[in-house]
């Protein structure tokens, strides 16, 4: 397996020369120089682990570049690297300007790539601190980094980070279970991707009183395809949080339903994500997202008639997903 830093774009430089090269890279005194279109708003660190493939790394790197076109950022990419002796590191520098419909709609961004030894967390934190834009908020995106390793970064690399994010549909473990110093500053990309799903379901259910939705609720079931395991868990958490509001509603019965999360049933190849309410009085609600396209479907009998409604669940773009996870 080749080291990830070799698979990502950029010019290889000695680590100590990167900041000097940055100082001269955007030089120019005229109003149309690239410097006039470079104004970072934040630092974003993309942190890879050993098991991330080259294709996965490039996909996330490209997503972050797209994000930086809308939210100008200094990007720092951390790539685990083999065969580095004596605590040495490798570095690459990537820069690019994106031109919109006119020359005046140009955006310039930069990415600093660092090949590091995972065991040397203190040295890594020192180098990252040198590369960060001072006085700007910092965010950290973990991808494939084991939980035990992340815990070693709590007192160094993550000090001062405004928010850390990860993807629960990708990671092999639930990183939300770590003893984060500030758990409310942890974001999940699966939660962000659920935004259009929550909007579609919430828009329909908002037409019914909370008492009606809670009364005689017998079961809540979530099903998901393998690629959406994180979305399945987070969808159930959202539903339980909404139902917990029943206790604040006057004369509203507290639901005593059973809750279950499982993979999609065998043979149901057309469903990627499903939510179903069952009621002891025969009522029901079922929403599902089809595996292809952006369409979903609601089947429900919550009053005196049955309904079948097609819903549109337009997925967020990569930059929208990142913004939702980082800022909200």
Residue 48 lies in a domain: yes
Q: How far, in Å, CA of 240 to CA of 198, rounded?
A: 13
Please give the residue range of the domain that contains residue 287: 195-312
**Same-domain check for residues 216 and 285:** yes
Residue 167 lies in a domain: no
**Same-domain check for residues 137 and 222:** no
Task: Please count the residues of the chain.
Answer: 328
Helix (H) or strand (E) holding 304, with range, is none
Q: Find the radius of gyration of the CA atoms of the chain.
A: 23
Provide the β-strand partners of residue 288.
Answer: 274, 297
Residue 137 buriedness (CB in 10 A; 0-12 / 13-18 / 19+): middle
Please report the pLDDT score of residue 122 as a whole number: 79
Q: How far, in Å, CA of 65 to CA of 10, rounded?
A: 13
Please report the pLDDT score of residue 76 as a whole number: 98
Asked whether 167 and 188 are in contact (CB, 8 A), the reply is yes
Residue 86 lies in a domain: yes
Closest CA to 20 of 68, 75, 91: 91
**Same-domain check for residues 203 and 151:** no
Please report the pLDDT score of residue 302 as a whole number: 96
Residue 188 lies in a domain: no
Per-residue pLDDT of the chain (328 residues; tens, 9 = 90+): 578 999 999 999 999 999 888 887 766 555 555 555 566 899 999 999 999 999 999 999 999 999 999 999 999 999 998 876 656 799 999 998 877 666 566 778 899 999 998 777 778 999 999 999 989 999 999 999 999 999 999 999 999 999 999 999 999 999 999 999 998 999 999 999 999 999 999 999 999 998 899 999 999 999 999 999 999 999 999 999 998 877 666 667 667 899 999 998 877 778 899 999 999 999 999 999 998 889 999 999 998 889 999 999 999 999 999 999 999 9
Q: How far, in Å, CA of 127 to CA of 132, rounded?
A: 9
Please report the pLDDT score of residue 7 as a whole number: 95
Residue 168 lies in a domain: no
Non-local (6+) Cβ contacts of 215 within 8 A are: 252, 253
Q: How far, in Å, CA of 227 to CA of 212, rounded?
A: 33
**Same-domain check for residues 154 and 221:** no
Q: How far, in Å, CA of 199 to CA of 201, rounded?
A: 6
Please report the pLDDT score of residue 225 as a whole number: 94
| Residue finishing a domain among 161, 176, 207 | 161
| Residue finishing a domain among 161, 178, 213 | 161
**Same-domain check for residues 84 and 215:** no
**Same-domain check for residues 151 and 293:** no
Tell me the per-residue pLDDT of 40-61, one tens digit each, with 9 for 90 and over.
899 999 999 999 999 999 999 9
Please report the pLDDT score of residue 86 as a whole number: 59
Three-state SS at 24: helix
What is the tally of structural domains in the chain?
A: 2
**Same-domain check for residues 155 and 202:** no
Please report the pLDDT score of residue 25 as a whole number: 74
Residue 317 lies in a domain: no
Please report the pLDDT score of residue 187 as a whole number: 97
């Amino acid at each position: 397996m080749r080291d990830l830093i070799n698979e990502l774009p950029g010019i290889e430089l000695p680590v100590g020369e990167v900041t000097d090269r940055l100082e001269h890279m955007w030089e120019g005194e005229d109003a149309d120089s690239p410097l006039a279109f470079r104004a970072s708003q934040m630092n974003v660190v993309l942190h890879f682990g050993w098991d991330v493939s080259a294709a996965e790394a490039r996909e996330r790197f490209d997503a972050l570049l797209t994000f930086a076109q809308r939210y100008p950022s200094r990007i720092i990419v951390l790539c685990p690297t083999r065969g580095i002796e004596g605590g040495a590191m490798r570095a690459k520098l990537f820069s690019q300007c994106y031109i919109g419909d006119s020359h005046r709609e140009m955006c310039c961004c930069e990415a600093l790539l660092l090949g590091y030894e995972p065991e040397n967390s203190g040295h890594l934190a020192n180098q990252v601190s040198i590369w960060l834009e001072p006085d700007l908020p910092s965010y950290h995106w973990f991808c494939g980094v084991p939980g035990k390793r992340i815990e070693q970064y709590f007192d160094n690399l993550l000090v001062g980070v405004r928010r850390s994010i990860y993807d629960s549909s990708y990671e092999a473990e639930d990183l939300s279970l770590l003893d984060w110093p500030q758990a409310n500053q942890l974001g999940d990309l699966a939660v962000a991707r659920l935004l259009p799903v929550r909007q579609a379901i919430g828009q329909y259910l908002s037409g019914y009183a909370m008492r009606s939705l809670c009364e005689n609720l017998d079961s809540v079931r979530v099903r998901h395809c393998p690629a959406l395991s994180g979305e399945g868990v987070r969808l159930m958490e959202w539903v339980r949080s909404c139902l917990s509001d029943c206790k604040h509603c006057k004369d509203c019965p507290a639901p005593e339903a059973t809750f279950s999360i499982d993979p999609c049933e065998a043979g149901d190849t057309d469903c990627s994500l499903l939510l179903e309410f069952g009621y002891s009085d025969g009522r029901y609600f079922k929403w599902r997202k089809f595996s292809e396209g952006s369409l979903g479907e609601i089947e429900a009998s919550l009053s005196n008639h049955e309904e079948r409604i097609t819903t549109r669940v337009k997925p967020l773009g990569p930059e929208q997903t990142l913004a939702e996870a980082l800022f909200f």
